[in-house]
């Protein structure tokens, strides 16, 4: 771990960092002033670039549909929800590749099946690329916006345009795991919280246990 957070521009972190840990990301528009974010950087799991943890969510415990910052800097070891404000997540995306990576952990309440383990190389991880990150948020649908989607290990889709209907709950989010008719993104919207089988409300609520949402 680093001895104190080091300061990097968004796009310089990968080539300068050699291990995972805290970094202070400096916005390119800040004229080198320290006006960025203290974040946890993952530079070891993906040789194409660094990922910055922006949200740790536990949908079975707490609704993840919150726009503002919740608690402290998110860490992979969190056991309760922590989140950067939407505006800061959008800044990270707009200074980088406009891409998010959401790792899912979910063992089905209804069936006992392990559906997602956080593995980066299969359907346990959802990637999204956003044309205009500033037009997305964590609490409501973002109709008419273009994004791409892929599972871990798969290829990108073509550009998808988010629809205005087809979902009954808030559909802002960082990763649409369940391919709903509204083809929203920014994690799967569901009445109570993201669920692989869409059992997020009603008599059986089979929401994801944990989500780690990264941005770059």
- Please, is 19 exposed, middle or buried when counting C-beta atoms within 10 Å of its C-beta (0-12, 13-18, 19+)? exposed
Mean of pLDDT values over 80-102: 90
Find the mean pLDDT for residues 176-198. Answer: 56
Residue 147 phi/psi, 5° resolution?
-150, 160
pLDDT category of residue 65 using cuts at 50, 70 and 90: confident
Candidate ranges 16-20, 26-30, 86-90, 172-176; pick with highest mean pLDDT: 86-90
CA distance 149 to 130: 9
| pLDDT confidence band for 136 (50 / 70 / 90) | confident
Mean pLDDT of 156-176: 58
* pLDDT at residue number 112: 94
Give the HSE-up count for residue 26: Cα atoms under 13 Å, Cβ half-sphere.
13
**Neighbouring residues of 169: CB distance < 8 A, sequence distance ≥ 6:** 65, 189, 190, 191, 192, 200, 201
DSSP characters over 123-172: TTEEEEEES-GGG--SSS--TT-EEEEEETTSPPP--EEPPS-S-SS---
Question: For residues 60 and 201, which has the higher predicted lDDT (pLDDT)?
Answer: 60
Higher-pLDDT residue of 81 and 199 is: 81
Domain edges within the chain = 6-215
Task: pLDDT band for 67, please (50, 70, 90 cuts).
Answer: confident
Percent of the chain with pLDDT over 90: 25
Number of C-alpha atoms within 13 angstroms, CB side, residue 6? 16
User: Is residue 71 pLDDT above 70, yes or no?
Assistant: yes
Cα–Cα–Cα angle for 178, 180, 184, rounded to 5 degrees? 95
Determine the 3-state secondary structure of 54 from DSSP.
strand
| Mean pLDDT across 192-215 | 82
Query: Counting Cβ atoms within 10 Å, is residue 180 exposed (0-12), middle (13-18) or buried (19+)?
Result: middle
Q: 70: which DSSP letter?
A: B
Residue 82 reports pLDDT greater than 60: yes
Q: Given pLDDT bands bounded at 50, 70 and 90, which one contains residue 78? A: very high
**From CA 163, how far away is CA 179, in angstroms rounded?**
12
Residue 60: DSSP 8-state? T
pLDDT at 151: 86
Q: Under CATH, which architecture does the 6-215 domain have?
A: Alpha-Beta Complex (3.90)
Q: What is the dihedral of CA 15, 18, 19, 23, to 10 degrees?
A: -50
Max mean pLDDT among 69-73, 135-139, 143-147 falls in 69-73
């Amino acid at each position: 771990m680093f001895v104190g957070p080091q300061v990097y521009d968004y796009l310089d972190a990968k080539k300068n960092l050699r291990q995972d840990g805290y970094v202070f990301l400096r916005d390119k528009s800040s004229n080198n002033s320290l006006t960025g974010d203290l974040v946890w950087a993952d530079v070891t799991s993906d040789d194409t670039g660094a990922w910055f943890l922006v949200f740790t969510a536990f949908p079975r415990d707490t609704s993840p549909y919150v726009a503002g910052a919740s608690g402290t800097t998110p860490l992979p070891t969190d056991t309760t929800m922590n989140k950067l404000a939407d505006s800061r997540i959008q800044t990270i995306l707009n200074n980088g590749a406009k891409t998010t990576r959401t790792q899912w952990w979910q063992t089905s309440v209804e069936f006992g099946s392990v559906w997602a383990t956080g593995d980066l190389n299969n359907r346990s991880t959802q990637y999204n690329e956003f044309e205009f990150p500033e037009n997305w948020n964590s609490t409501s649908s973002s109709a008419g916006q273009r994004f791409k989607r892929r599972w871990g290990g798969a290829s990108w889709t073509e550009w998808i345009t988010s629809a205005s209907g087809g979902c009954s709950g808030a559909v802002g989010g960082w990763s649409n795991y369940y391919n709903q008719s509204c083809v929203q993104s920014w994690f799967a919207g569901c009445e109570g919280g993201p669920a692989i089988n869409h059992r997020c409300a009603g008599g059986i609520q089979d929401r994801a246990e944990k989500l780690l949402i990264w941005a770059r």
